Structure 1
Amino acid sequence: MTEEQHLREYTKALKAILPKHFFEPVPARMMYLPIFVGLFVLCAWGIVATPLVLLKLLLSFGAGYAFVGMGFLAHEILHGAVTKNPVVRSIAGTIAFLPLLVGARLWRKWHNVEHHGHTQHPHDDPDAMGTLEVAQQKPIFQWFFRQAPAFRSLFLFSSFTFWFSFHAHMMLRRFLPEFKPHERRVVIFQAILPYLVWLGVFLLVGPLNFLFVFVLPWVIANFIAMSFIATNHLLNPVTETNDPLMNSLTVRNPRWLEWLTLGFGLHVEHHIFPVLSPKYAHIVAAKIKELWPQRYNELPHWKALYYLWKTPRLYRDHRNLIEPTSGKVFGTMGFGLPERVQQHKRARINARAVGKKRRRSS
Structure 2
Amino acid sequence: MNPVPNLELKVSSDTIQADVLISQAEYVKKLRPLLPDDAFLPDLSKGWILAINLAILGLGWAIAADLDRWHWYWLWLYLPLAAAMGNSIIVLLFSCHDLMHGSAARHSRAFRLMSFLGLSMFWMPPTLWRAVHNREHHRNTNSALDPDRNYLYQQPKTWGKWIQDCFVPSVEVNPVWLTVGMAHAWGIHTFRNATSVLLFNTGLVRYVPAAFKVSRRERWAIAIELTLISAIHLGILSYLQFDPIALVLSYFVPLWIGYAGVMFYIYTNHMLSPMTAINDPLINSVSLRVPKLLDLLHFNFSYHTEHHIFPGMNSDYYPVVQALLLLHYPKRFHLLPFRRAWQTMLDTPRHYRDDRTFTTRSGERTVPCPVPNQM
TM-score (normalizing by structure 2): 0.83
| Gap change, CA 1:216 and 1:15, over 3 Å in 2 | same
**2:207 aligns to what?**
none
1:39 aligns with 2:56: yes
Work out which of the residue numbers 70, 82, 107 in structure 1 matches 2:129: 107
| Gap change, CA 1:106 and 1:142, over 3 Å in 2 | closer
- Corresponding letter in the other structure for 1:28: S
Q: Which stretch has the larger CA shift, 29-38 or 157-166?
A: 157-166
Work out which of the residue numbers 264, 267, 270 in structure 2 matches 1:230: 267
Please say if residues 23 and 275 of structure 1, whose CA atoms lie closer than 8 Å, have aligned partners that are also in contact: yes
**1:357 aligns to what?**
none
Alignment length (residue pairs): 334
How far apart, CA to CA, are the structure 2 residues paired with 1:151 and 1:181? 39
Please say if residues 110 and 126 of structure 1, whose CA atoms lie closer than 8 Å, have aligned partners that are also in contact: yes
**1:269 aligns to what?**
306
Greater helix share, structure number: 1
**2:8 aligns to what?**
none
Work out which of the residue numbers 318, 334, 348 in structure 2 matches 1:281: 318
How far apart, CA to CA, are the structure 2 residues paired with 1:151 and 1:291? 38
- Corresponding letter in the other structure for 2:151: G
In the TM superposition, what are the counterparts of 1:1-150 in structure 2 within 5 Å? 1-50=18-67, 51=70, 52-121=74-143, 123-134=144-155, 137-138=156-157, 149-150=171-172
Q: Displacement of 1:182 after TM fit?
A: 3.6
Q: Displacement of 1:216 after TM fit?
A: 1.4
How far apart, CA to CA, are the structure 1 residues paired with 2:95 and 2:136? 20
- Corresponding letter in the other structure for 2:62: W
Moved over 6 A (4+): 142-146
**1:342 aligns to what?**
none
- Corresponding letter in the other structure for 2:218: E
How far apart, CA to CA, are the structure 1 residues paired with 2:92 and 2:312? 18
Q: Displacement of 1:116 after TM fit?
A: 0.3
Please say if residues 197 and 219 of structure 2, whose CA atoms lie closer than 8 Å, have aligned partners that are also in contact: no
Gap runs ≥5 in structure 2: 1-17, 202-212
Instruction: Indicate the SS of the match to 1:213.
Output: helix
Instruction: Indicate the SS of the match to 1:97.
Output: helix
- Corresponding letter in the other structure for 2:24: L
1:163 aligns with 2:169: no
Q: Which stretch has the larger CA shift, 220-229 or 33-42?
A: 33-42
Q: Which stretch has the larger CA shift, 68-77 or 170-179?
A: 170-179
How far apart, CA to CA, are the structure 2 residues paired with 1:286 and 1:83? 26
| Gap change, CA 1:182 and 1:324, over 3 Å in 2 | closer
Cα deviation, 1:226-272, whole Å, max 9, x if unaligned, reads: 10001001000111110000000011211111111121111000000
Gap runs ≥5 in structure 1: 339-362
Please say if residues 60 and 216 of structure 1, whose CA atoms lie closer than 8 Å, have aligned partners that are also in contact: yes
Q: Displacement of 1:92 after TM fit?
A: 1.2
**1:250 aligns to what?**
287
Q: Displacement of 1:88 after TM fit?
A: 2.8
**1:327 aligns to what?**
364
Q: Which stretch has the larger CA shift, 35-44 or 93-102?
A: 35-44
- Corresponding letter in the other structure for 1:264: F
| Gap change, CA 1:160 and 1:142, over 3 Å in 2 | closer
Please say if residues 295 and 334 of structure 1, whose CA atoms lie closer than 8 Å, have aligned partners that are also in contact: no
Cα deviation, 1:30-66, whole Å, max 9, x if unaligned, reads: 1101210121122223333342321233322121111
Please say if residues 330 and 336 of structure 1, whose CA atoms lie closer than 8 Å, have aligned partners that are also in contact: no
Instruction: Indicate the SS of the match to 1:132.
Output: coil
How far apart, CA to CA, are the structure 2 residues paired with 1:262 and 1:6? 25
| Gap change, CA 1:239 and 1:306, over 3 Å in 2 | same
Please say if residues 258 and 264 of structure 1, whose CA atoms lie closer than 8 Å, have aligned partners that are also in contact: yes
Asked which structure has the greater RCO (Cα within 8 Å, sep 6+), the reply is: 2
Q: Displacement of 1:71 after TM fit?
A: 1.0
Instruction: Indicate the SS of the match to 2:317.
Output: helix
- Aligned-residue CA RMSD in angstroms? 2.3
How far apart, CA to CA, are the structure 2 residues paired with 1:228 and 1:131? 21
Please say if residues 171 and 345 of structure 2, whose CA atoms lie closer than 8 Å, have aligned partners that are also in contact: no
Please say if residues 150 and 350 of structure 2, whose CA atoms lie closer than 8 Å, have aligned partners that are also in contact: yes
Please say if residues 97 and 103 of structure 1, whose CA atoms lie closer than 8 Å, have aligned partners that are also in contact: yes
TM-score (normalizing by structure 1): 0.86
